[in-house]
Amino acid sequence: MNKELLKEYLSGRYQGWSSFLDNVIFPIFGQEDFEDGFEAELLDSQPERRQLAQATGIHSMKQVGKIYVGVEPLQIFDVTVSDRVMMERNRVNIQRLVRTVMDQFSCAFMLFHYEDDTRWDWRFTYCRKSGNKEESTDSKRYTFLLGPGQSCRTATDNFMGLYDKRDSLEIKDIEDAFNVEALSKEFFGKYKAQYEAFVSYMIKPDNGMRQNFIDTDFDHTGMTADKIRDREEKPIRDYVKKLFGRIVFLHFLQKKGWLGVPAGKEWGEGDHNFMLHLFENASEEQKENFLDDILEDLFAKGLDCNRSDRGDLYDTKVEGFRNHRIPYLNGGLFERDNLDEKTVCFPSNYFKDLLTMLSQYNFTIDENDPNDAEVGVDPEMLGRIFENLLEDNKDKGAFYTPKEIVQYMCRESLIAYLQTDQREEDKEPIRQFVTTHDVESLGELKEEIEQKLIEVKICDPAIGSGAFPMGLLRELFLCRSAIELNIVEKAADIKRHIIQNNIYGVDIERGAVEIARLRFWLALIVEEKSPEVLPNLDFKIMQGNSLLEQYKGVDLSTMTENKLKSGQVMTIFDNMLEDYRKKLRDKLAEYYACPAHDKKVQLRRDIVDIVKQQLIEQHIYIDFENLDLSANSQFFLWHTWFHDVFSRPSKEGFDIVIGNPPYISTKGVTIEDKRKYEKEFGFSDDTYNLFTFKGMSLLKDGGSLSYIIPKTFWTTQTKRNMRDLILSNQINYIFDTTNPFDAVMVDTCIIQVVKHSMPKEHLIRFMDGTKDLSNPLIFPPIKQDIYLDTQNSVIFKPTDLNLRIYQLYGHKVKELYEKWWDKIETSRKIAKNQQELEAYRASLKPGDVALLGCLTEGGQGLATANNGKYIAVRRSTKLAKNIISSRPKKLAEAIKKKKVSIPQMANFANENDFLDSLSEKEIATLFDSLKEQYGRDIFDKGYIYKIIEDSELANVDELSEEEKENGIDTSKNYYVPYDKGDKEGNRWYLETPFAIAWSKENVQFLKTNSGKKGEGMPVVRNPQFYFREGFCWIDVNSTYLKARIKSNGVFDVLSMSLFTITELPDWYYVSLINSEFISLYVDNFINNTSHFQINDARQLPVIIPTQEELCDLQRIVQQAIDLKKHSFSPSLNISVEEKKLEEIQCLLNQKVLTLYRI
């Protein structure tokens, strides 16, 4: 099988199924197991199938063979399509027909070709039905577009890959060959490389473009030089992104045959590789200034200029394309802005490389869905590109959402909307209709459902690149096309209606808004035979800060309100406001379809003037400082721009709010924004919490919110207000999606909430996709009010074990939490409520349950703010070796960075030799003096460089109370053990390698300066607990929690430490925390984040044990501690010890389960 000959064959006209078998199928799969002799017409076997085929434009469907891949039979079909049908516009109906065939088979190849016109493209499709044959599942269809004018590089490469594996082929190899995701990742990698090359060229200092583009007008406070430079160059990156977006858009357009159409020819007869050919035909002089001389004019004078009076002819100035038709697109994509006015010039090889790379891929203008995809670059790629190139996308919390999740959420939100106010028996037929588009299932509901589809109002308040609105555009279109007749001819009109009347979106990023609009335009273009003027989406998909409808402290949400109360007569003032509202609606509708530039400019002025006049009439006077009221990052006028949504009688608000809101931590929010959010919401928190409150406020009564968000809200204390909000409404379903994103590091879930009070006995559908997202585990429905009967109203996955835990401890622990939490949440409150707590503890008896916070005291420890000065490492520990090896490197770095001069080093070859010549005290003095002279962080923050002998440690048991409280005289050993946490996560026992210099001078400084502002100022927390044995744990919550006995000494802020104040020993709590059960309990009922904090520990339910139970656990704990002590021995057989610890862990787990009666 020759690669070049294969590519030539795939790029040619369709030569019949027999030829395809000879040239492609047999070389890869062989002929030994091939079965033929079928050739029966499948359309004649079922009247319904023939009827659907006629509506689809399919003349014939024949099985022409069968091959075996392993033991799997793979059918081969030849499908003949009418010449009058455009396959790319008829994918929906074709998929329906394919589904009827795939009901009988598990996998198949299908060849789609036209009846007579062999000049048109042809398609090679792989179909596979997932799941068991007994299960009814959607068939998935993956297609290569082949034939003249198509890029067949990927198909050739992938089929050659199959050929290379021909002796050991499996079904998975075929699936990989048709893998759209693999192609998408490959394309993005090459696209990003081209993008970075263009940006790198523009920021070179020698070409002058950087200085012409950079933005220096921003606050530099607290920014490093690299951060400043990066921020300055943002306009350059924005410019290249916009340029690339335009060029990629034109690659979709040229697939329609709308670019470079010869004079006198019809739309569709243009050059399918116009962009590359335009560059190749340009003169050398034109190539050297291709952007300014050719592309900029093509954008402004071609695509953004109405030339209908000239037959749409445009002169590109390039030979071979001097008098060709170019469509006028409108919509704003190619309108010139300030950046376009700047002079930009790239060497010719930049555009040559970019356009050559793009030409290697098939651009399919219709967006793929998870069940029907062409192996090529579809418009969704624009969204993926945007999300992945978004400025600091991690900081902005924006991530690309996989299309399978988008489709699921869109369908479920549409189902919820259509099922609203329907009888119970009608809800399943509605679900069946939305998922299969079988209109017969609706019966008498058909007209009502059609009207609801026409009227629905949908919004994504963080639209990003438009994934969810595009998904709902598709779902609405599929549902309406199933109901309405002659859909192919009306497809563009239906989509225009949906975009104008049903879908709204907002995003703070201008680039996101531009990409989303572009995808909507492509969704229209795919349905059109000839170019139509694109709608203006400036007031449909808008830029703004969705979370704020205020500016400079003034609430702007009320400016369009009708303030009349029932029974009041409308005054002249009210009449004026109503007149303004009507004028605004009319102007917005006129703007949507306006094709003329000058008219659009005037309409925008009129619209802004009307809004400003409304402000004045409402006595709202604000200086907006030239801020664009319809496109800014400060606020968004929800009730103004989308007034048609909020003014619907008895339906004030959206029917559906959907999206993947940003996951920005409250730590990443500026102080100024926090103040704004507190004014708007009454609190400030992670942005997904704010977006949940905002989303619910945007809904009409009975509307549904569907978000994919971090599932940390299930349990964390800071999200209690969010749980209270959603639990006070109706939760339809929760879907644990674990982490479906490539980049984001937090586990997520999908949740759908309906805005009305929770019905009595309401059941939540709960799904778990942690093991298989496409086939989630579905739990029996769970009563929503169960979650109101847990402490802190936590949400847990309804596994059998969790439900058992809830039955035993849910209500009981909630009662304890509500009674005691306000008295134990801090060490100060525990001390304040000491008498009441002592009386409670005295009343406890074996079998009772108490919160750990009622049985212990403690908290965080000391923060020295200067570990190098106070902390040392014991030479007998392995950590000392790390210090000894790192000190020369740290010294060398400091000398280079700060230009440090150390005269005595002149006699030594290097830093190693120099430090080897010094005693430990001399090294400590040297490093201390350098820190004093050059700053605390000269060796990096927190670096520890001192080493002491074990003989220098004080005997803690012999210290007086005075020495413990105020320090030790330096005439004695003054180093004491210092528990600084444990990065390695040792359980049961750890002999700390650290010691702190507990001298009188040091203690005096620490106590005197505790909490003061400034560098190097310490914080002394909970000193009353120093020099007490207790227990502690590492705060990172992994598979198991990791608790251990804490030795007598001082402890660090990172060492979460508690101390028993009952007769129960500290090791008892260690045994519980180290059990698998408590780890599971914490994850499901206290805090499912990656950190186990002290207030999480205080919520733990502790069983008061019998003496027998205590003795059983003591034996286990002592064995574990003995083993851990031995593990620090250099002669240890680690594998043997680990196995013994595993055995002890199993025994402990069983004992604790018995203790808790699980």
Quick: pLDDT tens for 1-45.
899 999 999 999 999 999 999 999 999 999 887 888 777 788 887
Determine the pLDDT at residue 569.
44
Query: Residue 736: pLDDT above 80?
Result: yes
Average pLDDT, the chain: 89
Say yes or no to pLDDT of 379 above 70: yes
Q: Is residue 565 scored above 60 in pLDDT? A: no
User: ∠305-309-314 over CA atoms, to 5°?
Assistant: 50
**75: which strand partners?**
66, 108
Extract the tokens encoding 856.
Answer: 């212990």
Pull the structure tokens for residue 296. 């900029």
Of 364, 327, 482, 361, residue with least CA distance to 87: 364
CA within 13 Å, CB half, 1136: 6
H or E element, residue 755: strand 748-757
pLDDT grade, residue 707 (50/70/90)? very high
Angle between helices 446-455 and 467-483 (to 10 degrees): 150
What pLDDT is stored for residue 1055 in this prediction? 78
User: Domain spans of the chain?
Assistant: 3-178, 185-363, 393-559+620-793, 867-876+949-1155
**Per-residue pLDDT band at 1038 (split at 50, 70, 90):** low
Reply yes or no on whether the pLDDT at 1143 is more than 90.
yes
User: Which ranges of 124-263 does DSSP label H, i.e. alpha helix?
Assistant: 153-164, 171-177, 180-202, 209-213, 225-232, 234-255
Q: How far is CA 189 from the centre of its chain?
A: 19
Across residues 1067-1078, what is the average pLDDT?
96
**Residue 456 contacts residue 417 (beta carbons within 8 Å):** yes
Is pLDDT at 625 greater than 60 in this prediction? yes
pLDDT of residue 568 exceeding 50: no
Cα gap 154→144, rounded to integer Å? 9
Per-residue confidence band for 1131, with pLDDT thresholds at 50, 70 and 90: low
Stretch 718-729: mean pLDDT: 96
* Mean pLDDT value of segment 963-983: 93
**Chain centre to alpha carbon of residue 163:** 38
Residue range 949-960: average pLDDT?
A: 95
- Plot region of 126 (φ>0 → left; ψ -120 to 50 → alpha; else → beta): beta
pLDDT digits (tens, 9 = 90+) for 64-120: 999 998 878 999 999 998 877 676 666 677 877 888 888 888 899 999 999 876 557
Whole-number pLDDT of residue 425: 94
Sequence letter at residue 200: S
How many C-beta atoms lie closer than 10 Å to residue 1078's C-beta?
A: 25
Tell me the longest C-alpha to C-alpha distance in the chain. Answer: 104
Q: What is the CATH number of domain 867-876+949-1155?
A: 3.90.220
Question: What digits encode the pLDDT tens for the residues 627-685?
Answer: 899 999 999 999 999 999 999 988 999 999 999 999 888 777 788 889 999 999 999 99
- Cα–Cα dist 182/856, whole Å: 55
Mind listing the pLDDT tens digit for each residue in 311-340?
999 999 999 999 999 999 887 788 888 888
Average pLDDT over residues 740-768: 87
d(CA 174, CA 172): 5
Bin 203: left if φ > 0, else alpha if -120 < ψ < 50, else beta: alpha
Report yes or no: 457 and 499 within 8 Å, Cβ to Cβ. no
- The span from the CA of 6 to the CA of 23, in Å, is 8
Alpha-carbon distances, residue 628 vs 99, 119, 340 (angstroms): 50, 51, 20
CA 611 to chain centre: 35
| pLDDT tens by residue, 415-448 | 999 999 999 999 999 999 999 888 988 989 999 9
Higher pLDDT, 1056 or 862: 862
SS3 content of the chain, % helix, strand, coil (to 5): 50, 15, 35
CATH number of 393-559+620-793: 3.40.50.150
The tens digit of pLDDT for each residue in 920-929 reads 999 999 999 9
Q: How far apart are CA 469 and CA 657, in angstroms?
A: 10
* Whole-angstrom distance, CA of residue 2 vs CA of residue 20: 15
Is 391's pLDDT higher than 60?
no
